Amino acid sequence: GDSVTQMEGPVTLSEEACLTINCTYTATGYPSLFWYVQYPGEGLQLLLKATKADDKGSNKGFEATYRKETTSFHLEKGSVQVSDSAVYFCALSDRGTYKYIFGTGTRLKVLA
Amino acid sequence: EAGVVQSPRYKIIEKKQPVAFWCNPISGHNTLYWYLQNLGQGPELLIRYENEEAVDDSQLPKDRFSAERLKGVDSTLKIQPAELGDSAVYLCASRGDGEAFFGQGTRLTVV
C-alpha cells in the first residue's frame, strides 16, 4: 500500500540555520503531497502542499518541491526561527479515495 | 470561518468504561475523517465518511469502536469498553474541495 517515510528526529538547530527534512513516498497512483505542522498541544495545521510533479509549495519561508522521479517531497527553510519549533509531518493523499497517509513526524527544536 | 471543532479536549477514564468524542466539521465539508495519533507517531486513519456514509472503516476496531455521522454533519466516535492501549489523541478532520483541515484533537487517557 501507499506509505510515507520521513527522517527521524529530533532535529536540533540554532536560530538562522538552514533546515532540510527529508520525505519520500510510495504510491500506486499519483498523489497530492503535503507538509503539516503540529505545535505542542495543538492539532495539525497545513503548512504547504503540491498537487503535481515539479510543483513547489511554499508558506512562511518553508518550501518543498514534488519530485516524481525520486518520489520525494523534502521540506526546506533557509533560516529557522525559535518559533518554528514543532513536529512536522509529511503526508500524501490519494486522489481517488482522498485518504491521507502520514509519516511518523520529525520534531524540530530551534535554539536561540 | 470556524475550523473543525472537537470536544472534549481532554478525557480521563478508567479502563472498561465507555467514552465518546464529538466532532463538528467545517460547514459544507462533505468528507470527515477520524484519525488516531499515538505518542510520537503520525496519525492513522480510523474511518472516513463521505456525507453520512462510512466509505473506509477498514482500520476501525469494530469490536469496541463505533462511529456515526448523522445527517452528514457532526460525528461521534465511541469506545466501549476502553482499554489502557486506547490512550492517545483522537483527531477529526474535514475536507471540502481541497485539503483536509484538522481539529485540535481529544487527548484520551485510560487509567
pLDDT in tens, B67-97: 999 888 999 999 999 999 999 999 999 999 8
A42 band by pLDDT with thresholds 50, 70 and 90: confident
User: pLDDT per residue over A81-105, tens digit each?
Assistant: 999 999 999 999 988 888 899 999 9
Question: Percent of chain B, pLDDT > 90?
Answer: 88
Confidence of residue B1 (pLDDT cuts 50, 70, 90): low
Q: What is the mean pLDDT of residues A51-73?
A: 96
A48: which chain B residues are within 8 Å (Cβ-Cβ)? none
pLDDT of residue A43: 86
Put simply, the answer to whether A46 touches B99 (Cβ < 8 Å) is: yes
B40 touches chain A (CB under 8 A): yes
- Closest residue by Cα to residue B85 from B38, B40, B19, B50: B38
Q: Does B39 touch chain A (CB under 8 A)?
A: no
Give the nearest chain A residue to B103 (CA atoms).
Answer: A43
Is A107 a residue whose pLDDT tops 90?
yes
Measuring CA to CA, which residue among A25, A111, A87, A75 is closest to residue B89?
A87
Distance from C-alpha of A11 to C-alpha of A20, rounded to nearest angstrom:
10
- pLDDT at residue number B94: 96
* Residues of A in Cβ contact (< 8 Å) with B104: 41-43
pLDDT in tens, B44-69: 999 999 999 999 999 999 999 999 99
User: B105 to chain A nearest CA, in Å?
Assistant: 6
**pLDDT for res A9:** 85
User: What pLDDT is recorded for position A47?
Assistant: 97
Type and span of the H or E element at B69 = none
* Residue B81: all three cell numbers together: 469498553
Concatenating the DSSP letter of every residue in A1-68 gives: --EEEE--S-EEEETT--EEE-EEEE-SS--EEEEEEE-TT--EEEEEEE-STT-EEEETTEEEE-BT
Which of A51-55, A57-61, B1-5, B90-94 is predicted with the least confidence, judged by mean pLDDT? Answer: B1-5
Report whether pLDDT(A29) > 90.
Answer: no
With CB atoms and an 8 Å threshold, state whether B100 touches A100: yes
